[in-house]
Amino acid sequence: MTCPHAAAQGAAPVVAIDPMVQDLAGETDRIRAAGPLARIDLLGVPAWAVTRHADARRLLVDPRLVKDLDAWGLWTSGTVTRAWPLIGMVDAGRSMFTVDGDEHRRLRAKTSQALTPRRLEAIRPDIEKFTAELLDALEEAGRDGAVVDLKSVFAQPLPMRVVGMLMGVDPEANAMLTRQYKKFFSMLTPQDERLALLAELDVFYTDLVRAKTALPTDDLTSALILAEDGGEPLTEEEVVGNLKAMVAAGHETTIGLVLNAVRALLAHPEQLRMVLAGEVSWETVIEETLRFDTPTTHLLMRFATEDIEVGDAVVAKGEGVVISYRAIGRDPEQHGPDADVFDVTRPTPIRHMTFGHGPHICPGAALSRVEAGIALPALFARFPRLRLAVPDEELRNLPVMTQNDLESFPVLLDA
């Protein structure tokens, strides 16, 4: 799709976001070099990318930036249609991720209540059980020096099992959901196929909601259906929208967090030694990983309801704004001149914004931290000599424009 609006933005350099994600590090450098508010091209559609921590922190609480798709000039003019491959990231149905203000608070309330620290502690034994079972499977697959894919055997199924359990999804559906979301995010999926699989997910979650309506159980889906608390209950469409987005966000982020942490530690053996010796906490490893190698690269999208000044640039009314979390995590103004360096000894607390900020901060942030906080120490306790089976530079990203998602993570369990 070619968008003539892109050529009318003045002389500011435009950074094209590569749909194949062949050079994520280089792309991050180019976006940061383009300034605090970088002009980007998303498959022919222009937008602004926020690249600095301070600006993102301010803009994420600015009521003039909204999630309402009807505030996007390119959408209301018909320039962007459902033929755009990334429309599913922006128009994902009515949920807490796509509305603002009082409606956002209403749609988010029960989800937040279901993911309290008390609830997360209650499911910790389940996460530990799932982790141990997957480590057994990993050990079996890696016997006799065989190369095993840490992603497909461990990092990917763990968060899908956890979020599926929370939602009350039949465990037999986990493999199907993993395939469907992988196809949804991939830029290799034809758009008509992507729209069809979104419709299939709608049917799946609608059937789940109706089954839980008839027979509620102790899970988040039932809690959302039964939520009233003196206010307006959620509609079936709203429950479906929340579930569809929560399962996507709830497993993709944790996959990236676990793999990126393992990758960074294996690339820095002295830091790994310090962690295994107890000199540095796993909590610090997790926060430094979230800052340095964010699971989400670009979060689509908010829209300006009036002109907004950001430094020397202006986001005009109706324009789209992307939060580029990977660039923000490496902002030297926030993290110092060594922001491009993974360092678990940097001063704590490590104040990043990888899970967002303000009203739309990720409701599953604490869950992702709990999962990684269980999975990572258990993995290295079982396999302290874990190592990559290929040089680090041979690892490749999947063609996913919004997530830092590796194709695979081949390892040897016992060097």
Q: Say if CB 318 and CB 71 are below 8 A apart.
A: yes
Give 3 or 295, the one with higher predicted confidence: 295
- How far apart, in whole angstroms, are the C-alpha atoms of residue 212 and residue 224? 10
Q: Say if CB 249 and CB 362 are below 8 A apart.
A: yes
Task: Specify the pLDDT at position 368.
Answer: 96
Does residue 3 carry a pLDDT above 80? no
DSSP assignment, residue 233?
Answer: P
pTM for the model stands at 0.95
Task: Specify the pLDDT at position 1.
Answer: 45
9 pLDDT band, cuts 50/70/90, is: very low
DSSP assignment, residue 281?
Answer: -
- How far apart, in whole angstroms, are the C-alpha atoms of residue 315 and residue 297? 21
Does residue 10 carry a pLDDT above 90? no
Task: Specify the pLDDT at position 12.
Answer: 67
The share of the chain scoring above pLDDT 90, in percent, equals 85
Distances (CA, A) of 221 to 111, 170, 210: 9, 12, 10
Task: Specify the pLDDT at position 233.
Answer: 84
Task: Specify the pLDDT at position 112.
Answer: 81
Does residue 83 carry a pLDDT above 70? yes
- Find the mean pLDDT for residues 313-338: 97
The share of the chain scoring above pLDDT 70, in percent, equals 96
Does residue 2 carry a pLDDT above 50? no
pLDDT in tens, 13-35: 899 999 999 999 999 999 999 99
- Find the mean pLDDT for residues 210-219: 94
Task: List phi, psi (to 5°) of 320.
Answer: -95, 145
Q: What is the dihedral of CA 124, 129, 135, 138, to 10 degrees?
A: -120
